[in-house]
Amino acid sequence: MTATSPRTTGDEPGHDRGATLVELLVVLAILGLSATLGATGWLTWRNARALDDSAGRIVRLAGQARVEALRQGKAVTLSVNAAQGTLAIPALSKRLALPPDTQLLAETAAMGDAPSILFLPDGSSTGAMLTLSRPGHGMRRLRVSWADGSVRREP
């Protein structure tokens, strides 16, 4: 008669079926990688969203200048200071400052010392092309139509 040892299934007391150190390290590595990729993607999305937000604020400010010109029946100026990253409607005492890392390039009709967009009482304007950019996050272009004074984001 040969002696055989009983097979253990791991369900008996004293036989824990815990995770091995290698399994724990693999899980931690996967969690770390997921967190890194998630944070990077979130930061990219947030920076792109900040650029879109700045473009939207400029569109609203230009719209206010256009509406004010129509309402008052006289020209309203939207001043652009690309060096300081600001836009203003002096007649309404409104000023918009862009985030410090946002660059603004303004292509406007030559009118005086500083670039500006003139919104006329008939709804038209002198027209302009505004370009917003952030290092490493692309750019947004806004076109101010001379024909109807509308402001549209270009693709």
Which residues does residue 79 pair with via DSSP β-bridges, in sequence order? 88, 116
pLDDT for res 97:
95
pLDDT per residue rounded down to tens, the chain (155 residues)? 555 555 555 556 666 677 788 888 898 988 888 877 777 776 666 766 888 999 999 999 999 999 999 999 999 999 999 999 999 999 999 999 999 889 999 999 866 677 899 999 999 999 999 999 988 778 999 999 999 999 999 87
Which residues does residue 86 pair with via DSSP β-bridges, in sequence order? 81, 97
pLDDT for res 11:
58
Kindly report whether the global pTM for this prediction surpasses the value 0.75. Answer: no
Tens-place pLDDT, residues 73-99? 999 999 999 999 999 999 999 999 999
